[in-house]
């Protein structure tokens, strides 16, 4: 990981805990496995604590790490650095994806509820009027009572969103092709096909992984199925939505959107989405940010303790999960 990230990730208590559990060198932060310092460390390393920015653990890297037996990832997806070679070698892998899912779900739920109250539109109207107005009449169509919220993907985040939304008077719809029979009902939702979810939902929130099969999952045709006035929330990956088709819909004002991810990841400066009043655009910050990073570090320390004391990981990543994760 990058040095500046490590400094933000580990608070003093967690860093002290790790140094007591292991022979961790707190000053050794590696984002390139070819440096002399990294070469020396790899020869003796049994556990790698990784985070965003970790280089891929290729066969060549593993050959230079003969004692390596586990990777503990203090972040979400391990897709960028865990390779086929790791599974062939039998490396044990853990991820703090469960911990990173919590702030993403909180971000999502906040915007689900604000969308139902039509806060974006009301904010713009109030800014323009700057005077008394019959907001009750103007907002007769607003509110969260019995609104339909569609969740695309029963991922960790999708499940946490459903859990947080259950206390509200909402109709929860769920689409996930891998969902076992009866699982949606157990999660408090109704399983539906994706086209039906798009057509019935007042808010559609995307939580599916980035896979070849999910590219432009919400294409032009499915966006057109969404109700006029509906809101689309994406905290997953930008590639899951046809960006051009979505932009065209948003420019007309027919839909609203909350986009923490886009395709490309940073939109060009002339994109209309930066200025549209019906769009909230944030720079991929729904996940762990600020002091939420300390939760990831604490989760990693828990797994390191399990590893050095001979216990199985509480949050292992299997090869099957790796193959279909984001």
pLDDT tens per residue, range 255-266 = 999 999 999 999
Among candidate residues 64, 89, 254, 284, the one labeled active-site is: 284
Strand partners of residue 145:
none
Considering the chain, what percentage of its residues have pLDDT values greater than 70?
98
Q: Is the pLDDT of residue 138 over 60?
A: yes
Contact 23, 47 (CB under 8 A): no
pLDDT at 21: 82
Among candidate residues 237, 295, 306, 315, the one labeled active-site is: 237
Contact 21, 305 (CB under 8 A): yes
Q: Is the pLDDT of residue 3 over 70?
A: no
Residues 176-235 pLDDT 10s: 999 999 999 999 999 999 999 999 999 999 999 999 999 999 999 999 999 999 999 999
pLDDT at 23: 79
- Does the annotation count 43 as an active-site position? no
Residues 268-323 pLDDT 10s: 999 999 999 999 999 999 999 999 999 999 999 999 999 999 999 999 999 988 87
Whether omega before 264 lies within 30 degrees of 0, making that bond cis, reads: yes
- Which residues, 6+ apart, have CB-to-CB distance to 323 below 8 Å? none
* pLDDT, averaged across the chain: 94
Averaged pLDDT, 11-18: 86
Residues 63-84 pLDDT 10s: 999 999 999 999 989 999 999 9
pLDDT at 326: 63
Residues 21-37 pLDDT 10s: 887 777 788 889 999 99
- Which residues, 6+ apart, have CB-to-CB distance to 284 below 8 Å? 260, 261, 265
- Does the annotation count 294 as an active-site position? no
284 dihedral zone (left: phi>0; alpha: psi -120 to 50; beta): left
Averaged pLDDT, 130-156: 95
- Does the annotation count 207 as an active-site position? no
Please state the pTM of the whole predicted model: 0.91
DSSP β-ladder status, 231-234 and 256-259: parallel
Contact 184, 213 (CB under 8 A): no
290 dihedral zone (left: phi>0; alpha: psi -120 to 50; beta): left
* Of the candidates 290, 314, 315, the residue with the CA atom closest to the CA atom of residue 103: 290
Among candidate residues 265, 311, 319, 324, the one labeled active-site is: 265
């Amino acid at each position: 990981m990058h040095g500046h990230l490590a400094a933000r990730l580990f608070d003093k208590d967690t860093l002290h805990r790790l140094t007591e559990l292991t022979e961790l060198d707190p000053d050794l932060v590696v984002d390139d496995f070819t440096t002399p310092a990294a070469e020396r460390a790899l020869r003796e390393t049994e556990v790698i604590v990784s985070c965003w920015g970790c280089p891929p653990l290729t066969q060549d890297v593993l050959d230079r790490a003969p004692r390596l037996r586990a990777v503990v990832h203090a972040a979400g997806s391990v897709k960028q650095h865990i390779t086929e070679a790791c599974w062939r070698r039998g490396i044990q892998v853990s991820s703090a994806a469960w911990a990173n899912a919590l702030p993403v779900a909180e971000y999502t739920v906040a915007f689900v509820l604000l969308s139902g109250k039509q806060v974006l539109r009301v904010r713009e109207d109030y800014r323009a009027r700057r005077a008394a107005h019959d907001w009750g009449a103007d907002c007769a169509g607003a509110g969260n009572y019995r609104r339909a919220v569609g969740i695309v993907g029963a991922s960790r985040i999708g499940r946490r969103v459903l859990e947080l939304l259950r206390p509200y008077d909402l109709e929860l719809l769920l689409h996930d092709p891998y969902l076992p029979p009866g699982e949606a009902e157990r999660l408090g939702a109704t399983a539906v096909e994706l086209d039906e979810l798009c057509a019935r939902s007042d808010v559609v929130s995307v939580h599916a992984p980035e896979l070849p099969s999910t590219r432009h999952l919400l294409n032009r045709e499915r966006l057109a199925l969404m109700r006029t006035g509906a809101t689309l929330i994406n905290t997953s990956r930008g590639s899951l939505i046809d960006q051009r088709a979505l932009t065209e819909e948003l420019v007309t004002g027919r839909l609203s959107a909350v986009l923490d991810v886009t395709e490309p990841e940073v939109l060009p400066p002339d994109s209309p989405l930066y200025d549209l009043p019906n769009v909230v655009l944030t720079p991929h910050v729904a996940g762990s940010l600020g002091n939420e990073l300390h939760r990831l570090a604490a989760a990693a320390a828990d797994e390191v303790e399990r590893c050095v004391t001979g216990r199985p990981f509480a949050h292992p990543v299997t090869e099957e999960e790796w193959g279909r994760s984001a």
